């Protein structure tokens, strides 16, 4: 998962893995969430990496985005700049893992959406799926990870 600081990347993974939500938060550098799931009758382990959103950690984040099979790019639906900044994360994955599945996720869907639909449209044209979810309410979180 990649995106700006405080968009809810850790909250989404916590909601998915544990089915719970906590308002408390800490700054994440890199966190690893191995999650076991049954897929087509077989047990599989999915490794999710929650990357730092602060710009000063971008070089470290790039290492985790290289050779990825899939990436969820997360933005906060109440802050347009978090959507705009996804371009840099998407560029890194496109250059280092062109075959990776890419999903743009607007988190905090339980709040009023203040982001431009035109900004999302430019990504849809490139074949990137755009979804919305809420880590707080759990809205569409399970579906997001099933989509991968």
d(C-alpha 132, C-alpha 128), whole Å: 13
Confidence at 147, pLDDT banded by 50, 70, 90:
confident
Position 27 scores a pLDDT of: 59
Position 26 scores a pLDDT of: 64
d(C-alpha 142, C-alpha 116), whole Å: 25
Chain segment 36-91, per-residue pLDDT in tens: 777 788 887 777 776 666 565 566 667 777 788 889 999 999 999 999 999 999 99
Token duo for residue 27: 């700054």
pTM of the model: 0.84
Residue 30 has pLDDT above 70, yes or no: no
Do residues 76 and 51 touch, judged by C-beta distance below 8 A?
Answer: no
Chain segment 98-121, per-residue pLDDT in tens: 999 999 999 999 999 999 888 899
The mean per-residue pLDDT over the stretch 27-31 comes to: 57
DSSP 78-111: T-HHHHHTHHHHHHHHHHH-TTSEEEEEEE-TTS
Q: In what side-by-side order are the strands of the sheet with 129-132? A: 2-3, 70-76, 101-107, 129-132
Chain segment 115-143, per-residue pLDDT in tens: 988 889 999 989 999 999 999 999 999 99
Q: Is 77 helix (H, G, I), strand (E, B) or coil?
A: coil
Position 32 scores a pLDDT of: 63
Q: Is 33 helix (H, G, I), strand (E, B) or coil?
A: strand
Of 9, 41, 25, whose CA–CA distance to 108 is shortest?
Answer: 9
Domains of the chain: 2-147 (3.40.50.300)
Half-sphere exposure of 66 (CA within 13 A, CB side): 6
Helices 58-65, 86-96: axis angle to 10 degrees equals: 40
């Amino acid at each position: 998962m990649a995106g700006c600081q405080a968009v809810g990347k850790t909250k989404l993974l916590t909601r998915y893995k544990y089915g719970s939500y906590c308002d408390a938060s800490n700054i994440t550098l890199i966190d690893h969430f191995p999650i076991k799931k049954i897929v087509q009758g077989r047990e599989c382990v999915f490794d999710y990496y929650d990357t730092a959103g602060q710009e000063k950690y971008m070089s470290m984040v790039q290492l985790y985005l290289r050779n990825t099979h899939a990436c969820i790019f997360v933005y906060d639906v109440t802050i347009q700049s978090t959507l705009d900044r996804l371009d840099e994360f998407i560029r890194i994955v496109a250059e280092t893992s062109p075959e990776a599945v890419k999903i743009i996720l607007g988190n905090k869907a339980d709040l009023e959406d203040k982001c431009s639909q035109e900004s999302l449209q430019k990504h849809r044209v490139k074949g990137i799926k755009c979804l919305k979810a809420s880590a707080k309410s759990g809205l569409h979180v399970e579906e997001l990870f099933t989509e991968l």
